[in-house]
Structure 1
Amino acid sequence: MSEIEIGVSKRGRRVYAFDDVAVVPSRRTRDPENVSVSWQIDAFTFETPIIAAPMDSVVSPATAIEIGKLGGLGVLDLEGLWTRYEDPEPLLAEIRSLPVESATQRMQQIYAEPVKAELIRDRLAEIRAAGVTVAGALSPQRTQQFYETVLAAGVDLFVIRGTTVSAEHVAKQREPLNLKKFIYELDVPVIVGGAATYTAALHLMRTGAAGVLVGFGGGAASTTRLVTGIHAPMATAVADVAGARRDYLDESGGRYVHVIADGGLGTSGDLVKAIACGADAVMLGSALARASESPGGGWHWGAESHHPELPRGHRVQVGTVGSLQEVLYGPANVADGTANLIGALRRSMATTGYSDLKEFQRVEVVVAPYLAD
């Protein structure tokens, strides 16, 4: 790929966000009803490629159950309010009502309450009792501390999620998490990320992960680019990691690692383009925070927004567009891509002539930066 000269001593690769690209119709079309949007990871099959992000504004035990019943996967943040407080509802209400000027500081105070192992156990047990797939997420820093509790609670899928996760973390103060050894010793499939480059993703795939999350500070509530200067436009990031998946498939003799886009996915069009660029599924935050059942009540925030030392996100108002059923399956009463996400995906696949998600990854994509205007 060609590079652009930034200055005499520095060159940079031209990369693309979802707003910069579009999919192209082909000579064949289909009926949307004849399109399959199901996907499978390890032994688990889901009717939709939707994973609800482990964020307190998106997933509670109740919404994880509802999303599971609707054919997706809800991932509970095991370092969130639900595992810090016996009754987090008053805290959620307070966060929703905080004035802008004091929101970050007060959220730091609220999230300073320690995570409790017994609450991890109880929340996951509540989801399991509903008969849906159970998934929970920990940061790499907390994984060693709580993973035994998570496994004992009967989790089906374990997610290790951070702003960025590497297979070669270096730390002088403590022994870092050995991902390869850790994943090898577990009895459940592990999804790990984020990663935003071919090399980082390939290294994560070599740890034995079942899936890799693609993204770095691209969400609606994130200010990572503003605070640290780090950003990964998602169309290129997903395509790069999909390339790593292809090469690892050859290297490993046939082991397929799922690519999950995580960030920069605010509308149904973004979902479509993520899969077109090579994703097997998408992890949604703000898109699901707009559902009336979501704990954020029309507000959205992530773990970065209450980091105790360097906050890299805001609590943002995303509003409410309908129920989870309407957000995922419609009917939509708005024309901005925030409702009937699956209906839009089906229609795009049908319009371009593809019958399932794996086929749709081969759709023609063009660079069309005018879409950002």
Structure 2
Amino acid sequence: MSNQVEIGRGKRGRQAMPLDAVSIVPTRRTRDPEDVSLDWQIDAFNFSMPVIGAPMDSVMSPATAIQLGKLGGMGVLNLEGLWTRYEDPQPVLDEIAALQAQSFSPENTARLQQLYSAPIKPELISARLEEIRESGVVVAGALTPQRTQEFYKTVLDAGVDMFVIRGTTVSAQHVSETKEPLDLKKFIYELDVPVIVGGAAGYTPALHLMRTGAAGVLVGFGGGASSTTRRALGIRVPMATAISDIAEARRDYMDESGGRYVHVIADGGMGNSGDIVKAIGMGADAVMLGTTLARAEEAPGKGWHWGLEAAHPEFPRGDRTEVGTVAPLEQVLKGPSSHTNGTANLMGALRRAMASCGYTDLKDFQKVEVHLSETYTR
């Protein structure tokens, strides 16, 4: 059965589904939530929840990365953010939180561009990563592909455990007539640490990223609520379809490589616990969370959320978005919760959903039955 739809005489398009279009279906068996394991392992690192904190200044500071690590997840610090540009970024974070109270504001964007024009200081990259390392949690830092070659040696010398290369769209084969592109395959091969790379939103680009030797592939374009990539560039792939496609690429790559498993990590478009449940059900091994963690009381954004793309000097593709504050980080992830809208006790929701459908581990839950909303099947 083809899912190609005729848009007009000269163009056909593939029908794709967002997470809102799918629902998880219980089976004949249920489990006790206490029997459910949320354990996740990537490379040599074990976690008690499949959660990665997005490398965004409104979400992850060294302190929140440490806190997330101690709670059982992995925080990733943005190594091109305010923490590596300013010795004391707190006044800058306070100023951003106090900007005009609206999402779309050219004045706010201009000020963000000014604040992020301060140079990145290699010594601050080292200092921030060392601060995280001293706490005993997994140390992870992120660079965009454009900055990776400039700063990766500093990152490795600082003792990073996991290296993340994250951009709006990342390909294994970038072509440029003016600059020497990053050779991902050669780069990853020469590193001594596992690399997570993305975003990717289709079977073919994800398969090529897996062939570079990456330990994990980020699915989506990140940013979520704060990103305007869809409006500014016209680029968007609905997440349910993107995750499913890339999960299939993972399976085919396992056959091709003789059993090498690459983790699929959903990144973006998961604003509540139900979205996280559905992302795992569609085939993700873990989730990278921005908006949901930006709502924590400890989050550096103080109820506001933005990404690095919001301060791009030439073509900003993001807004500073108000997401509010709901609870301390531990309650956002593990509860208890007084919220009924899926903004707190995210892991409790995942555990309960898996138990309701009869599954006790994440890998098996990827096989769960799903239904499509009538809105998307007409």
**Residue in 1 that maps onto 2:313:** 308
Tell me, yes or no, if the aligned pair for 1:218 and 1:233 is still in contact at 8 Å: no
Tell me, yes or no, if the aligned pair for 1:47 and 1:71 is still in contact at 8 Å: yes
Q: How far has the Cα of 1:216 moved from its partner? A: 2.1
Question: What does the per-residue CA deviation read over 1:260-289, in whole Å, with 9 as the maximum and x for residues that have no partner?
Answer: 000101000000000000000000000000
Tell whether 2:257 aligns with 1:252.
yes
Tell me, yes or no, if the aligned pair for 2:80 and 2:120 is still in contact at 8 Å: yes
Tell me, yes or no, if the aligned pair for 1:21 and 1:369 is still in contact at 8 Å: no
**Residue in 2 that maps onto 1:40:** 41
Pairs aligned (count): 371
Residue in structure 2 matching 1:338, options 343, 358, 366? 343
Tell whether 2:217 aligns with 1:212.
yes
Q: How far has the Cα of 1:369 moved from its partner? A: 5.1
* Other structure's SS at 1:259 match: strand
**Residue in 1 that maps onto 2:95:** 94
**Residue in 2 that maps onto 1:5:** 6
Tell whether 2:232 aligns with 1:227.
yes
**Residue in 2 that maps onto 1:20:** 21
Please show how residues 108-257 of structure 1 align to structure 2 within 5 Å.
108-216=113-221, 219-257=224-262
Please show how residues 78-93 of structure 1 align to structure 2 within 5 Å.
78-93=79-94
Letter paired with 2:249 = A
**Shift >6 Å, 4+ stretches:** none
* Other structure's SS at 2:163 match: strand
TM norm structure 2: 0.97
Q: How far has the Cα of 1:302 moved from its partner? A: 0.4
Q: How far has the Cα of 1:370 moved from its partner? A: 5.0
Tell me, yes or no, if the aligned pair for 1:160 and 1:193 is still in contact at 8 Å: yes
Distance 1:369 1:213 in 2: 29
Distance 1:369 1:217 in 2: 28
**Residue in 1 that maps onto 2:289:** 284
Residue in structure 1 matching 2:304, options 299, 307, 313? 299
Q: How far has the Cα of 1:98 moved from its partner? A: 1.0
Percent identity between matched residues is 69
Distance 1:96 1:302 in 2: 14
Q: How far has the Cα of 1:304 moved from its partner? A: 1.2
Q: How far has the Cα of 1:218 moved from its partner? A: 6.1
Question: What does the per-residue CA deviation read over 1:36-85, in whole Å, with 9 as the maximum and x for residues that have no partner?
Answer: 01100000000000000000000000000000000000000000000000
Distance 1:189 1:204 in 2: 13
**Residue in 2 that maps onto 1:66:** 67
Tell me, yes or no, if the aligned pair for 2:223 and 2:307 is still in contact at 8 Å: no
Distance 1:33 1:259 in 2: 26
* Other structure's SS at 2:142 match: strand
Distance 2:371 2:205 in 1: 26
Q: How far has the Cα of 1:173 moved from its partner? A: 1.2
Provide closer, same or farther for how the CA distance between residues 63 and 369 of structure 1 changes in structure 2, counting only shifts above 3 A.
farther
* Other structure's SS at 2:371 match: strand
Provide closer, same or farther for how the CA distance between residues 370 and 339 of structure 1 changes in structure 2, counting only shifts above 3 A.
farther
Tell me, yes or no, if the aligned pair for 1:218 and 1:232 is still in contact at 8 Å: no
Tell me, yes or no, if the aligned pair for 1:217 and 1:263 is still in contact at 8 Å: yes
Tell me, yes or no, if the aligned pair for 1:217 and 1:225 is still in contact at 8 Å: no
Distance 1:2 1:18 in 2: 17
Letter paired with 1:292 = E
Tell me, yes or no, if the aligned pair for 2:204 and 2:249 is still in contact at 8 Å: yes
Question: What does the per-residue CA deviation read over 1:73-105, in whole Å, with 9 as the maximum and x for residues that have no partner?
Answer: 000000000000000000000001112431100
Distance 2:38 2:85 in 1: 36
Tell me, yes or no, if the aligned pair for 2:226 and 2:318 is still in contact at 8 Å: yes
* Other structure's SS at 1:173 match: coil
Structure 2 gap segments, 5+ residues each: none
Question: What does the per-residue CA deviation read over 1:148-206, in whole Å, with 9 as the maximum and x for residues that have no partner?
Answer: 00000000000000001000101111100000000000000000000000000000000
* Other structure's SS at 1:261 match: strand
* Other structure's SS at 1:220 match: helix
* Other structure's SS at 1:166 match: coil
Distance 1:179 1:190 in 2: 10
Question: What does the per-residue CA deviation read over 1:91-150, in whole Å, with 9 as the maximum and x for residues that have no partner?
Answer: 000001112431100000000001010000000000000000000000000000000000
Tell me, yes or no, if the aligned pair for 1:57 and 1:301 is still in contact at 8 Å: yes
Tell me, yes or no, if the aligned pair for 1:51 and 1:75 is still in contact at 8 Å: yes
Letter paired with 1:178 = D
The CA RMSD measured in Å over matched residues stands at: 0.9
Structure 1 gap segments, 5+ residues each: none
Provide closer, same or farther for how the CA distance between residues 248 and 277 of structure 1 changes in structure 2, counting only shifts above 3 A.
same
Letter paired with 1:138 = L
Letter paired with 2:324 = G
